[in-house]
Structure formats: structure tokens, C-alpha cells
Structure 1
Amino acid sequence: MRDKLSKHLFDPQSDASIESKLLKLLSLVRKHLSMEVAFISKFTNTERVFKVVDNQTTNTCVSVGNSDPICETYCKKISDNELEQIIPNTLEHPITRNMPVTEKLNIGSYIGVPIILSTGKVYGTFCCYKTVLDNALNDKDLSFLRLISEIATELIEKKVQSDILNNESKSLIENIIKTNDITIYFQPIFNLSTNQLSGYESLSRFFIEPYKTPDIWFKDAEKLG
């Protein structure tokens, strides 16, 4: 199953964005585990941020871009091994029953795993929950979640690397604009039948490192907006 999913999701011919592929994985897990909410979170220094969300409830707190103080989340406690990865009944658990986020997100049962990048850095978590208790959650469900989370991690790694390259390109382009580091050449255009000058072609050249031909610089600038 993993190989089949990976082949589909990492198909270089696919035009689907990484976000849409991650959303498909969330939907797959949520439906397979009969959950109501599935999400991928990212950790900042102070917050847990929802990055990709499949939410079938009316609770809008779990939406892309929303966040909570990281120390008050299940996500952080799971990644720090302070909380089990399967919680069948959050209201009977000695830790989660006293956490404000349990009521805020209306969490009845929960399952989640940390997302660890190849560098060893904890990116965030891949989690699911429903608003009612679920004593049927078991290690088999956790193994399935871990499997899909591994695929998601590969996609996230690609996104992280792409963002780094895009940020580097954006910084270079912004510096070119700021310093006006573009050399313009005007090439005359002659009418051969009259042997007279009929106009000029304006050509841009970028004599900076890394060297790229003008068409690549403009293509990168358009891609980055």
C-alpha cells in the first residue's frame, strides 16, 4: 500500500500541489479511522499551527492558519513523550481532561504521531480526533497512521526544500530590484530593404552570481510573484 501511494503522490507528471496531496492523505486516514477531524500541524517557537486540515465538524477553531500556545497542546506533549499517541477517552485521561484545548476543540478521542524530518527536527504532528470517546482505537490504527505519516513526511520535506530554494531566489530577485543591478543593452534593428534604422531591441543582462540567463531570471520572478 505504501509503495502504491508513494508512486501516485510522488509522480513527477502530477500537477497536484503538495498541499492537495497532503489533504488526500488526511482524508484517507480520517475516513479509515472513522474520525471527524484530521490535521497536520507545524511547531513554531511558541505555537502549534494548523497547516493542512480535513475538518468535518462545525468547530472553526481547527482551520488552516489557526494556532494555540504550543505548551497547551496535545501535539507538543505527544512529541515530547508526555502523552500517549492513542487516547480513547480524553475526559477520563488524567492529563487531557484538565487541558483547555480539550474543550476548545471538543476532543473526545485522539490519535496522533510526531512528524520528524530527516534532519531529526520535529516539524509538528499528524493527528486525528473525534468528538466522542472511541475505545476501539488500537495499535493497528496507530500503525496505519504512522505509515501514512511517513509518506506525508516525505511530501513535507519536499515542500520545506522548495520553500528554502524559493526564499533564496526571492531574496536575490528583491536585491536585484533594490540595487537596480540590471544592465540594459539596446540592439539596433535595421530595415534591410531601406538600410535604415527602424527601432531598437531592449535586452536585459544580469551579471551576478549565480549566473542565469535572462529568461530564467524573469521566469523565477514571475513564479514568485
Structure 2
Amino acid sequence: MTVRTATLLGPTAEVPTPSAAVVELLAVLRRHLHMDTAWLGRIEGDLLVIQAISGDGDRFHLTQGSTVRRRRGLYPGVLSGRLPTLIPDTLADPRTADSPTVRELDIRSYVAAPVVTDDGTIYGLLGCLGRRPHRELRERDAQFMLMLAEILRDSVSDLHRMWQAHSQVWLDVSRLIDQGGPTLAFQPVFDLERARIVGVEALSRFPDPCRSTEQWFVAADAVGLTVELELAAVRRALGALPRIPAHIGLAVNASATTLSAGLVEMITGTDADRLLVEITEHQRIADVPEVTRDLDRLRRLGVRFAADDVGAGYSGLEQLVLLRPEIIKMDCSLTQGIDTDPARRAVATGLVHVAEEIGGGGVIAEGIETAGELLTTRDAGIRYGQGFLLGSPTPVLRDACVAADE
């Protein structure tokens, strides 16, 4: 079946998540008509892209994101009016008996109607499929389908706008990845006791000033390109490693998923014992089971790990237990104001003890911006610091590496 449907079904597409109202409407439609599958599809060039589905879609090789090619699908006939809204028995009807779609997907009955946006343009198709003939279907069932298609007008207009926005994000991120990924700025990390630089963190910088770095990664995540974008940034950072003095390490950022999506292979063969991989706490390590294996593989190469942004959210303690990082990076929300807030000082002191117990490498205080914050973090036992007071991010690698030594 897979071979025979290859010419009928197109590539899987990225689609925005449909609203709960659309999903519920499809379920109502399927139950009302006693059909096996109900779906909403968008016309995209020569493809019908399945946006939402209810019921046994696998029976017809359809899932959210599946595509059907125009030249072999039933849907062009429905859109043009050549085929009716309802056919109770596709093999008994001469208009569909010889259709490749009917034969290859074993569609024995269907009900389908065009869906238009609020400006009157064709959005796509609302449909139901059956695995057996439904000779009990009547014209009023076709009218019911047309009524629901009209109800969907506002919802598909929202989906259309979402799709346009997602498409633009996908194009922006894809273009950036193809160009080698984001540019980099390097910010020095200091040994606060010795007042000298021990590392630089490679920070991603993006071309659109209206979208922050965090917004770029959130947008990439929405269209499924986070891993590729992170790998592109790490690849560019690794290219700078030979230009960094041998006594200075390099920190790069990666999510838990990226660890198991090519990072091991990318780092193999580099000066891995100079690398610190910062794992953000915004994605739970427990949600990516293979990460533990790849953490071990990278550690055997000499890579060290940092738990990033600790204190910025609520999953930090769990991350620390699972990751057991060599370094804990205390989020700037805890650093800023630490000199006037006993609670922040208490948390900082606690993190120093945790770091000593689980990794032995120490804590980096992020976001040091005043002399008071610097003095207090050092008095709390925090060994390393990073922030605008000590050194701003700079695209010139030499400036970042020399800043502390002067």
C-alpha cells in the first residue's frame, strides 16, 4: 500500500495547531454522519494539506500534516462542482468508481464541501470518509455538511492567518539556517577570586531587531526548527574555538533535545575538554529519555555541562538532579539586587552548596551589573561571574578574550 499511495500522497507538512472548536466540530460531524474519519484540509498549491482530523485517519493514511496531490485526489472535483458534495457508494458511482484515490485509499463513501475564508476565497475542504458504503446518506446530510463548512468560516480565517504567520517564520528561520545560523557575540566569564577570564559564552544574535533572541528561538520551536537553529549556532561557535586562547573555555547553549540530535557527532573531533554546554531548564530532561545516554557520551569526550538559568522557573531542582552539572548558572533574576535582598543571598549560598555536592565545579552568577552585586556574590562563595559590569557581549572574539587580562 505504501508504494501504491506514493504518487497520491505528498510530503508531510508543518501545520499550526487547530483550535479546540475545530476539533470538536469535526468530531460532531463524524458522529452525526456515522463516518470513520472527518477532516479539514487547506489548499496549498497542488496539495491538500490536512489541518485537523477526527477518527480513524490511519485507515486512509491521513494524519495531521498529511498532503494529497491535486492530480490524483477527489478534492479538485468537489471544489469545481464536477463531483457532488455526497457520494454514498464510490464504487457504484461511475464518477468515482475508477478514481485512483478511491482504489488506493479504499474510500467507499464520502461527504465533502468547500470552505471559504471571510473574504470569500477558497481555503480548502471539509470532509468525511467511510470504509463502507453509506447508502442511508441523504441530501439533507449534504446540507448539514455545507452548514458546518459555513460555520467554519471564521475558524479557517484564523487558521489561514496562523498559517501565513507560521510560513513566514519557517522561511525566516530556514533562510537563517541556510546562511550558517545566527551571528555570535562573545561575553567573558570571570574567576571572581583571581579577577581573570576563564571562558567566553557564545551568544546568538539575529538580524531582525524587532524580534529578540528568545523570540527567535520561540518562533523556531513553533515551526519545529529549534534543533536545526541551535545546531547551526553551535557549529558556528565551534568554528571560533581555534581562535580562542588555550586557557579560555567556550560555552555554548543547547536544549535537551539538541543533545540527542547531532550534537555528539558535531563535537567529536574538536577540543571538547574546553567546551561547556549550557542546558536550559525550559525543556525538562525527563521528557527526552535518550539524553542521559548522550550526556555520558559527551562527558567521555571531555565536555562539561552547566544548568542554565537556574532560578528562572520551577523545574530547576529536577534538572539539577537529572543533569548533575559541573556548573550551575544562577539566573540574573537572582543576581540583580542580591546586595540588598537577604532571600537572594540565601538562595545563592544554597546553590554554592548544591554545586559542591553534585558537580564540584561551582556557580556562575549571571547578570552582574553593579559593584554591590559583584561584592555580594563573591562573599556568598560564588566563584564565577558574568555580566555587563565585567564585560559586555562583543562580536569581536579577541575583545572578549582580552577584556579581563588587561
Q: What range is the shorter-chain TM-score in?
A: 0.5 to 0.7
In 1, Cα distance between the equivalents of 2:129 and 2:206?
54
Alpha carbons 1:55, 1:62 under 8 Å: kept: no
Q: Compared with structure 1, are the counterparts of its residues 128 and 222 closer, same or farther at alpha carbon in structure 2 (3 Å cutoff)?
A: closer
Show the counterpart of 2:150. Answer: 147
* 1:201-220 mapped onto 2 (5 Å cutoff): 202=201, 204=203, 206=205, 208-217=207-216, 219-220=218-219
Q: Distance in 1 between matches of 2:57 and 2:192?
A: 69
Residue type at the aligned position of 2:111: I
Q: In structure 2, the residue corresponding to 1:84 is in which secondary structure?
A: coil
Mapped to 2, the partners of 1:87 and 1:189 lie a distance apart of: 75
Does 2:89 align with 1:105?
Answer: no
Kept in 2, the 8 Å contact 1:62–1:105? The answer is no
User: Residue 96 of structure 1 aligns to a residue in which SS?
Assistant: coil
* Deviation readout 1:182-223 (Å, 9 max, x if unpaired): 2224376756xxxx5155674747373335444444555566
Shift of 1:137: 4.1
| CA 1:34–1:163: 2 relative to 1, 3 Å | same
TM-score by length of 1: 0.67
Percent of paired sites with the same residue: 18
CA distance in 1, matches of 2:221, 2:102: 44
Given the alignment, which residue of 180, 183, 197 partners 1:181?
183
After superposition, the C-alpha distances for 1:149-198 in whole angstroms (9 at most, x for unaligned) are 3254134214313312421441364267x16622224376756xxxx515
2:60 and 2:106 in contact (8 A); partners too: no
Q: Within 1, Cα distance between the matches of 2:176 and 2:123?
A: 28
Q: Higher Cα Rg: structure 1 or 2?
A: 2
Distance 2:103 2:82 in 1: 20
CA 1:181–1:38: 2 relative to 1, 3 Å: same
Q: Following the alignment from structure 2 to structure 1, what is the Cα–Cα distance between the partners of residues 212 and 129?
A: 51
Which residue identity is paired with 1:159?
A: M
Cα gap change, 1:56 to 1:113, in 2 (>3 Å): same
Equivalent pair of 1:187/1:203 in contact (CA under 8 Å): no
| Aligned pairs for 1:39-78 within 5 A | 39-56=39-56, 59-64=59-64, 67-78=67-78
**Aligned-partner Cα distance in 2 for 1:162–1:207:** 18
Task: Give the Cα separation in 2 of the matches to 1:79 and 1:163.
Answer: 26
Amino acid at match of 2:61: C
Match of 2:136 in 1: 134
Give distance in 2, aligned partners of 1:189 and 1:211.
35
Compute the displacement of 1:100 (Å).
3.2
Structure 1 unmatched runs, 5+: 1-16
Residue type of the partner of 1:197? Answer: A
After superposition, what is the alpha-carbon deviation per residue over 1:18-44, rounded to whole angstroms, capped at 9, x for unaligned?
Answer: 247343332221112222221223445
Q: 1:66-87, CA deviations, whole angstroms, 9 ceiling, x for partnerless residues?
A: 5554233221111122222233
What TM-score do you get using the length of structure 2 for normalisation?
Answer: 0.41
- What is the distance in 2 between the residues matched to 1:95 and 1:30? 24
Evaluate the alpha carbon distance shift between residue 84 and residue 47 of structure 1 in structure 2; reply closer, same or farther with a 3 A threshold.
same
On the 8 A contact 1:206/1:212 being kept in 2, the answer is no
Aligned to 2:195, the other structure's residue is in SS state strand
Are 1:95 and 2:95 an aligned pair? yes
| 8 Å contact kept, 2:117–2:123 | yes
Q: Which amino acid aligns with 1:82?
A: R
Structure with larger RCO (C-alpha < 8 A, sep 6+): 1
**Letter in structure 2 aligned against 1:146:** A
How far did residue 129 of structure 1 move? Answer: 2.8
> For 2:125 and 2:185, how far apart are their aligned partners in 1?
48
- Specify whether residues 210 and 91 from structure 1 end up closer, same or farther in structure 2 by C-alpha distance, changes over 3 A only: same
Q: Deviations over 1:27-67 (max 9, x none)?
A: 22111222222122344544445443334387343445555
How many residues of Structure 1 are paired with residues of Structure 2 in the alignment? 204
